[in-house]
Structure 1
């Protein structure tokens, strides 16, 4: 029997690339998105089911899983990819924006995992891959809320992986650096600004320029999708999979340097000395 994967956030970027890659490799794919009626390409593939899923709506999640089971008979893998980034200095970000960041990136992921676990336990097997970020390991200025949500996802995933191992369910993390997708443009449109916080203007200009410079060497969505596929199929106990030279370099620096050395390194990188 073909294996079946459910992927959240499949309309663009990493999720879309992953849906196409798994389909090309013979998997049944449940490509979920908020507006499936707008999808034209994935709906033409016989082994792909395009369906609606809203991370903050448990009924929507349940219906998506039930539709997948009715179509393909089982689920073998869940890829939690849907997310967004709230950018801006912390003082300019509203409590409502902070709550929304966590509702999507953390609580939404938890909602989908909670809904799929009974099926995996009944099968006595299943796999989960949570798409995190290098920002789940490293504090990066101007994206503190996105980083906070990914730090939370990393801690949750690591702790949960031990629990699920007792049920023959694996959980892994994929950690991209910068990725050439609409994600950053979408996040930039919602950059939190407060015209009264002029004290940050020089810093924002400098840090934005540095982040833009880093963004000149981003990975492709396909490269991330390939790492997701590797994590799903390599049969190893490896937990974290970093993607991109930037992610691998930053994570290596963070894990090889002591805190003081790394802090000084980051301050120098962002011209904060």
Structure 2
């Protein structure tokens, strides 16, 4: 009897945090893992398991994406699941954010996801199977002060994912979106950009009041493994579910059911955003 061929997952932004935890989890469960990142030469992830292979991929560069996807197919034979995890956060008052910063945020968090999906879809359509897992955020269903542009990208990703969920079912390609709450990773040190504008001081008091409360929420967040296990369930479960909300179910539920005026007052009180 021929042994079953191991499944393959391609993960973007796998150098650290959620991406790395996901790569290690899938490898430990017998999958081939294509861990992609902008600078694989700086990562030691490949030494964790012989099932993990590193590939260079910059989601903002379509040529880099196409090359990596073909390299993964050549090395592993197929791609069963794509986890779009790469991203970063632009924080701060909207008025302080430049057009370049805003476009760069969308290029990575939204258009980067689209680049990867567009590249891998012909392969999945030909095989008539596959799963696309988009790592969004609870900030794509609710908002927090100073998160305007990060939330804008995650709300866009949520709508895009839901439309694809309907569009790709005819090809037996399942789409899932992971919407975690605060997670304790180096995301907010390594992958956050704080917008400031010389001479703009009108928001200084507000930022000073809100920032410590945001930081406290970040430090109280769940571990990356919590999200990795949600990604595993989304990748393997037969249940036709679109959204997974590790560490955020209650907050997202409240945003949908609590009257908007009350919700705003609660958020302002929690974060001292008066």
Range into which the TM-score falls when normalised by the shorter chain: over 0.9
Superposed, 1:186-197 pairs within 5 Å as 186-188=190-192, 190-197=193-200
Aligned to 1:170: 174
**Could you give the per-residue CA deviations for residues 187-212 of structure 1, whole angstroms, max 9, x where no partner exists?**
45x31112422221111011101112
What secondary structure sits across from 1:20 in the alignment? helix
102, 105, 108: which one aligns with 1:104: 108
Q: Is the 8 A contact 2:136 2:154 kept in 1?
A: yes
Structure 1 alignment gaps of length 5 or more: none
**Could you give the per-residue CA deviations for residues 69-91 of structure 1, whole angstroms, max 9, x where no partner exists?**
11111110000000000111101
Q: Is the 8 A contact 1:30 1:50 kept in 2?
A: yes
Aligned to 1:180: 184
Aligned to 2:256: 255
Give, in whole Å, the separation in 1 of the partners of 2:191 and 2:148. Answer: 13
Q: Is the 8 A contact 1:4 1:30 kept in 2?
A: yes
What secondary structure sits across from 1:193 in the alignment? coil
Q: Is the 8 A contact 2:24 2:48 kept in 1?
A: no
Alignment TM-score, normalising by the size of structure 2: 0.95
Alignment TM-score, normalising by the size of structure 1: 0.95
Residue 118 of structure 1 and its aligned partner are, at CA, apart by: 0.3
Give, in whole Å, the separation in 2 of the partners of 1:54 and 1:214. Answer: 30
In angstroms, what is the RMSD of aligned CA positions? Answer: 1.3
118, 122, 142: which one aligns with 1:138: 142
Q: Is the 8 A contact 1:93 1:192 kept in 2?
A: yes
**Could you give the per-residue CA deviations for residues 223-260 of structure 1, whole angstroms, max 9, x where no partner exists?**
1111110111121111111111xx22321210121222
Matched, 1:230 2:230: no
Q: Tell me whether 150-159 or 42-51 shows the greater mean CA deviation.
A: 42-51
Q: Is the 8 A contact 2:20 2:45 kept in 1?
A: no
Q: Is the 8 A contact 1:43 1:50 kept in 2?
A: no
Residue 268 of structure 1 and its aligned partner are, at CA, apart by: 2.6
Aligned to 1:203: 206
What secondary structure sits across from 1:83 in the alignment? coil
Runs of 4+ more than 6 Å apart? none
**Could you give the per-residue CA deviations for residues 82-139 of structure 1, whole angstroms, max 9, x where no partner exists?**
0000111101110000000000000000000000000000000000000000100111
Residue 263 of structure 1 and its aligned partner are, at CA, apart by: 2.1
Aligned to 1:67: 71
Residue 216 of structure 1 and its aligned partner are, at CA, apart by: 2.9
Relative to structure 1, the CA distance from residue 202 to residue 32 in structure 2 (aligned partners, 3 Å threshold; closer, same or farther) is same
Give, in whole Å, the separation in 1 of the partners of 2:11 and 2:223. Answer: 18
Aligned to 1:150: 154
Matched, 1:88 2:84: no
Give, in whole Å, the separation in 2 of the partners of 1:42 and 1:251. Answer: 36
Matched, 1:118 2:122: yes
Q: Tell me whether 194-203 or 51-60 shows the greater mean CA deviation.
A: 194-203
